[in-house]
Amino acid sequence: MSRFWTKTVSGLTPYIPGEQPASHSLLKLNTNEHALPPSDAVMEAIRSSQAEQLRRYPDPTAKGLREAIAQVESLAPDQVFVGNGSDEVLAHIWLSLLAGRPVQTLDTTYGFYPVWAQLYQSALTEVPVLADFSVDVEALMASEQAVVLANPNAPTGLALSREEIERLLADSPDRLVIVDEAYYGFGADTVAPLIDRYDNLIVSRSLSKSHALAGLRVGYALAHQDLIEGLNRVKDSFNSYPLDVVAQAAAKVAILDTLWQEQSAAVITESRKRMTEGLEVLGFEVLPSSANFLFIRHRAISGRKLFDGLRQHDILVRRWDKPRVEQWLRITVGTVAQTESLLAACAPLCRADDA
Ligand SMILES: Cc1ncc(COP(=O)(O)O)c(C=O)c1O
């Protein structure tokens, strides 16, 4: 606390990201990074960056990367915005389209949304998810306010269908719908194909999960060009060069390598299936996930006890001290070998409770 802080800064409750331990001996299943390394082509693009490129500023418009995204999504480049991770993209969406306005989200969703609402002074309504954690679309439709949804949702992993989100869009053309597809690629429908039909839709994506590039910090948004222009106005009033030259080059290669993305996602979905089966045998309730993580609760053992027990086995998972989810753990889907280690660590914890 400093007497020089502004009122806004004094009142902030910042987002707390999952732990990034210095030690590599921990099995890190707490922040939903992709279990596989990035593609060889991406690593080659990173290695081949030249001193001359680094001496200069990068392209402030990231034209090559936006064109690549537009090509893959069958959109025009001016319907694409890129930023330093989708967190930055979402923050710019908030400032350009939601600041000072009422916004609805869910009571069980990504913890950054209330932080941006506070930072940008939006009155936030947190609409409760149903008892099974599914989204109450009717409840969201009861108001004209803008909606921010993660799809699949985090931390639950549950996904809405494209038709359900289209209902929200079609019901009122003046309701802005922001769909955070950070976990795109692991099984959920995308609403990107609706962009040409709805100018009240904005889709945010991340290369952190689907492309195994959390460390590179690249995210993007897809929307009607007028919405994208609003985002560019914010970006150019904040930081003209959010993506460095290496990130732009590597992200472009990653985006165009759709085969790698599909094949690596297939490895994760297969591992997710085995992890689900293994956990169910141990007495866990597992929500059906369309993401690269599972949301689980044990029928007999508390979330806190499991979290601590796994930590003692050098396994990091995520848990929140919040009433609706305190008994639940969110666990990243690892490789099959990592899943075996997780199950081996869970087994005695579950047995100890039976005794
Ligand atoms: C729902 C959701 N949205 C956005 C993000 C931010 O992703 P990034 O900034 O790495 O692109 C995350 C990260 O975990 C997330 O879970």
Q: Is ligand 1 within 6 A of the CB of residue 219?
A: yes
Please report the pLDDT score of residue 78 as a whole number: 98
Q: Is ligand 1 within 6 A of the CB of residue 115?
A: no
Pocket test for ligand 1, best of 20, 32, 84, 86 (most atoms within 8 A of CB): 86
Residue among 137, 180, 176, 178 nearest 155 (CA): 180
The answer to whether residues 159 and 153 touch, using CB atoms and an 8 Å cutoff, is yes
DSSP tag of 175: S
Residue of minimum CA distance from atom 12 in ligand 1 = 182
Q: Is ligand 1 within 6 A of the CB of residue 182?
A: yes
Residue of minimum CA distance from atom 7 in ligand 1 = 86
Please report the pLDDT score of residue 355 as a whole number: 44
CB atoms closer than 10 angstroms to residue 354? 8
Longest dimension (CA), the chain: 66
pLDDT tens digit sequence for 292-317:
999 999 999 999 999 999 999 999 99
Contact partners, residue 207, CB within 8 Å, separation at least 6: 213, 216, 218, 219, 251, 254, 255
Give φ, ψ of 53 to 5 degrees. Answer: -65, -35
Please give the number of the atom of ligand 1 that sits closest to the Cα of 207: 11
The answer to whether residues 105 and 124 touch, using CB atoms and an 8 Å cutoff, is yes
Residue of minimum CA distance from atom 2 in ligand 1 = 182
Domains and CATH numbers, the chain: 19-37+259-354 (3.90.1150.10), 40-256 (3.40.640.10)
pLDDT tens digit sequence for 252-262:
999 999 999 99
pLDDT tens digit sequence for 111-158:
999 999 999 999 999 999 999 999 999 999 999 999 999 999 999 999
Q: Which residues pair with 147 in a beta bridge?
A: 104, 177
- List of the chain residues with pLDDT < 50: 355
Please report the pLDDT score of residue 24 as a whole number: 79
Please give the number of the atom of ligand 1 that sits closest to the Cα of 180: 3
Tokens of 25: 């001996």
- Pairing status of strand 293-298 against strand 328-332: antiparallel
Q: State the distance from the centre of ligand 1 to the C-alpha of 17, rounded, in angstroms.
A: 10
Q: State the distance from the centre of ligand 1 to the C-alpha of 88, rounded, in angstroms.
A: 10
Please tell me the total number of residues recorded for the chain in this structure: 355
Please give the number of the atom of ligand 1 that sits closest to the Cα of 218: 11
Pocket test for ligand 1, best of 206, 217, 218, 332 (most atoms within 8 A of CB): 206
Please give the number of the atom of ligand 1 that sits closest to the Cα of 90: 4
